[in-house]
Amino acid sequence: MKVAIISDIHGNLEALNALNENVDELWVLGDLVNYGPDPGAVIDFIKAKADVVVRGNHDHAIGFDEDPHCSRPFREMADATKAYTCSVLSEVQKQFLRALPLKKDRDIEGLRVVLCHALPSDPLFAYCLRDSDRWESELEQTNADVLLVGHTHVPFIREFGTRIVVNPGSLGQPKTGSPAARYAVWETSLGTRGFELRAFHYPFERTIAKIDALPIDARIRSSLADVLRHGGLPRQS
């Protein structure tokens, strides 16, 4: 089986539509919404096509009207777009976000696979990059052979003996110094050796044009555009 693993779409329909990978299943590691201009269309796409979806901190914030606990550079953008996102989603779409599980387990080719947005022990908010010392204990506590996470928007693969942690990066708001959308592919018949991090270019200026039309402060719109164009933190004015 071939699986595409995506995370952190953030309402970016152009990036999602441009994902062109012939796979058997699509797995989504959360944060379907916020920041981007098309949260409803992204939810509908994922509802129709994804095989596994877990809840991210922004999905939780929109679904339950709570704080997404963003880092300082993104807090103002998150607050402004949260109000917009809540205003355009239907109650059915919000209920879909509320119903998403925080974690999901799969048994694939004899491997125990655990999927979550951040960490199994803190599925919504823990922020751990590749070199964090928490990964090995998370693998042990969940008895996972494969741990799939998102949240940081920075892709990596890290191996611990026969176990592995994979972050596919962000499809809709990358933080890699490039606007290219990021994702991972897993050829499950190859076990933990079957993971590959991939990237593709998409028409991000179309997303930015939609952001420019949003009913939010012009300074926030400019910051959101910076993030998409440059693949990182917004520029400081």
pLDDT tens track for 96-148? 999 999 999 999 999 999 999 999 999 999 999 999 999 999 999 999 999 99
Phi/psi class of residue 97: alpha, beta or left (left: φ > 0; alpha: ψ in -120 to 50)? alpha
Integer Cα distance of 182 and 69 in angstroms? 23
For residue 236, the model assigns a pLDDT of: 58
* Domains parsed from the chain with CATH numbers: 2-104+170-230 (3.60.21.10)
pTM value is 0.97
Summarize pLDDT for 2-48 with one digit per residue, the tens: 999 999 999 999 999 999 999 999 999 999 999 999 999 999 999 99
pLDDT band of 89, cuts 50, 70, 90 = very high
Q: Please write the tens of the pLDDT for every residue from 156-202.
A: 999 999 999 999 999 999 999 999 999 999 999 999 999 999 999 99
Give the residues across from 119 on adjacent strands: 122
| Chain-centroid distance, C-alpha 234 | 18
Cβ pair 26, 50 in contact under 8 A: yes
pLDDT band per the 50, 70, 90 thresholds, residue 71: confident
Q: Residue 37 corresponds to which amino acid?
A: P
- pLDDT tens digits for 192-209? 999 999 999 999 999 999
